[in-house]
Amino acid sequence: MNKPFIADKKPAVLQLEPGTYWWCACGLSKNQPYCDSSHKGTGFSPKQVVIEVSKKVALCNCKHTATAPFCDGSHSKLP
């Protein structure tokens, strides 16, 4: 697998509480935008996200962002 699966063409806008989260980079997780270990054997690895204070974030679901795990609008340029 050389390109990630596009889980959705819009970000997951979430209010996250302080803690550690694992963002799915491959797009195969059934628990988007979080990793459920579906990446095994794909060459992709989840990205650790540490939230220090409660805040609203937009996590990328198209998996093509240059600012992983955060959305940078790349989904608007996908076919």
Residue in 66, 64, 58, 47 with CA at minimum distance from that of residue 6 = 64
pLDDT for residue 78: 93
pLDDT value for 30: 98
Each domain of the chain, given as residue ranges in start order, spans 12-77
- Residue by residue, pLDDT tens for the chain (79 residues) are 899 999 999 999 999 999 999 999 999 999 999 999 999 999 999 999 999 999 999 999 999 999 999 999 999 999 8
Tokens of 65: 């962002």
* Distance, first Cα to last Cα, the chain: 19
